[in-house]
Amino acid sequence: MDCNRKGCGNKALDWKVCAQCFLVRYCSEECLEEDWDLCHENECEGHVFNIKDLIQQNAVKPQQIGKGTYSEVCLVQHRKTKTFYALKAISKSIISVNLPLQTLFREISLHKSLVHENIVRLYDQLEDQKKIYLVLEYVSKVNLYEYIKCYEKIPENDAVKIFVDICLGIRYMHSKGILHRDLKAENILISEDFRSKICDLGWSTYCDKPRNTFCGTLDYMSPELLNGEMYSFPSDIWSLGILLYEMLHGKMPFDASNESEKLQNIKTKNFFIEPKISQAGRGLLQKILTYDPHKRITLNEILKHRWIQENYDIDCAISLGNKVNHPIHGTGSIVSIKGLICSVNFTNKTLEFSIPELASYITFANENLEESTFDPIRFEVSKDISQSFRHQHFFSASTSKIEESSSSFSSFENGNVTDSMISELIDNQDPLRIYEIQKDLLQLQQELEQPKVCKAVPQRRKTLIDQIFGNS
């Protein structure tokens, strides 16, 4: 990325940023000051929050929800909006001694530039005389490490949802030229609606050329990193493979009694895949945990893989021939769909996109229906229903929590399922009863997601609703 000062043309430093917005970068202090005086002072977005508006839940004993080497994270609530946030506090006394200022500035600048549903959002950075504060998206409940510890082994049809979320988040980071470098179960948060989000970008860096900094967590480090070789984006993909293995087996692939033995196991690729793992799952693990980074599978290949196709519920209106109106590449059409990856043919080039990525760029036409825009919310419906009902017992068995999760997917354009009907359906039901109705609810959803069926066979739709909601 070039220096933000007009006419400079030099490469910007990833830590030399505007200390107000952290969104623009410069090659030097001189360029930063000059650009501020010329124009950026008027353009700078400044701060979103005031530290006085963020109220700790317990003023006497703040509710700590996380703790790192140089920081602690507490739950806070905005005074006016009542929205909860995670407030990360870093003592100024450790800056420049244990935590270099340029490292902190780089983390803030990188993190603030990332806006994706599978990455914890950094909204603002504030400070007082003693501390620097980062205002982060609050993701309730557990991290992936705790989730695995509770379940020991995660079934493949559940692990795939977590894994795809992480892959989509990392794919977005890589598209921005950013390498995470510390992917591990503790750095994946799982929300109440079972969406996984990547957090802790402390080791993340721009990767415009191969790196050689030794960093991360031993169990997840790639062979090239451990060997002191230059590494790049495939190093993150290795870490994804470790995460997938950990979810399916409930343990690390290269576990050992000491670090030297562990290192040897990693370097010799000495790991065992349990026979009960599906053939497609075994194949994907072997392709990701490939010793040579140049032969390692890519993120797009992962999202196309047979294991994703067999286990991930892809239910959307995207199909071959759909027109794509892309803001940069212009008009194109979908020429192939494999797993979660679509190939789109533009003038003189064919590019690959993930299905969620294409959501806002697609228009499609059905027989007897007017052309309309693909709705990403409806794309998420089937996944939300399946995952929310399947995992609600882990987060909360209370009816109120279930009702809260249900509200995001309880209305359908082609049917008459409402929030009140869902609430009435699950009222006073225990989790086992909820599981029993899951199949019927999914069947109803599938019917409602098919405009042709709903239009041609309205009686079928009415019968389904009556059966599930006891109107017959």
Q: Write the pLDDT tens digit of every residue in 6-45.
A: 889 898 887 788 888 888 889 999 999 888 888 888 888 7
- Positive or negative, the CA dihedral 406, 407, 413, 416 is positive
Q: Cα 322 vs. chain centroid, distance in angstroms?
A: 26
Is residue 384 flagged as an active site residue?
A: no
Which range, of 156-170, 278-292, 434-448, 450-464, averages the lowest pLDDT?
450-464
3-state SS record for 91-147: EHHHECCCECHHHHHHHHHHHHCCCCCCECCEEEEEECCCEEEEEEECCCCEEHHHH
How do the domains of the chain map onto residue ranges? 1-46, 51-137, 142-311, 323-373, 376-469
Altogether, the residues listed in the chain come to a count of 472
Residues annotated as binding site for ATP?
Answer: 88, 186-187, 200
Nearest in space to 285 (alpha carbons), one of 257, 344, 243, 320: 243
What is the identity of the amino acid at 391?
Answer: H
- Contact by Cβ (8 Å): 312, 349: no
- Contact by Cβ (8 Å): 412, 472: no
Residues annotated as binding site?
Answer: 88, 186-187, 200
Tell me: the pLDDT tens digits for 136-175? 999 987 899 999 999 889 999 999 999 999 999 999 999 9
Could you write out the DSSP letters of every residue in 18-54?
Answer: -TTT---B-SSHHHHHHHIIIIIHHH----S--GGGE
pLDDT at 164: 97
d(C-alpha 126, C-alpha 87), whole Å:
10
Which range, of 101-115, 117-131, 162-176, 406-420, averages the lowest pLDDT?
406-420
Residues with Cβ within 8 Å of residue 405, at least 6 apart in sequence: 192, 193, 384, 388, 392
- Taking CB atoms within 8 Å and a gap of at least 24, the contacts of 463-468 are 464/440, 465/415, 465/416, 465/417, 467/440, 468/425, 468/437, 468/440, 468/441, 468/444
Architecture of domain 142-311: Orthogonal Bundle (1.10)
Name the active-site residue from 124, 182, 219, 236.
182
Report DSSP state, residue 298.
P
Tell me what the pLDDT averaged over the chain comes to. Answer: 80
**Fold of domain 51-137:** Phosphorylase Kinase; domain 1 (3.30.200)
Which range, of 66-70, 252-256, 364-368, averages the lowest pLDDT?
364-368
Tell me: the pLDDT tens digits for 317-344? 788 888 998 888 999 999 999 999 999 9
d(C-alpha 2, C-alpha 4), whole Å:
6
- Percentage of the chain beyond pLDDT 90 is 47
Report DSSP state, residue 247.
H
What is the identity of the amino acid at 291?
Answer: Y
Which range, of 53-62, 125-134, 281-290, averages the lowest pLDDT?
53-62
Check if 51-137 and 142-311 are the same fold: no
pLDDT at 103: 83
- Contact by Cβ (8 Å): 190, 318: no
d(C-alpha 208, C-alpha 178), whole Å:
8
pTM of the model: 0.74
Rg of the chain over Cα atoms, rounded to whole angstroms, equals: 24
d(C-alpha 425, C-alpha 407), whole Å:
13
Residues with Cβ within 8 Å of residue 206, at least 6 apart in sequence: 1, 14, 110, 177, 178, 179
d(C-alpha 55, C-alpha 74), whole Å:
10
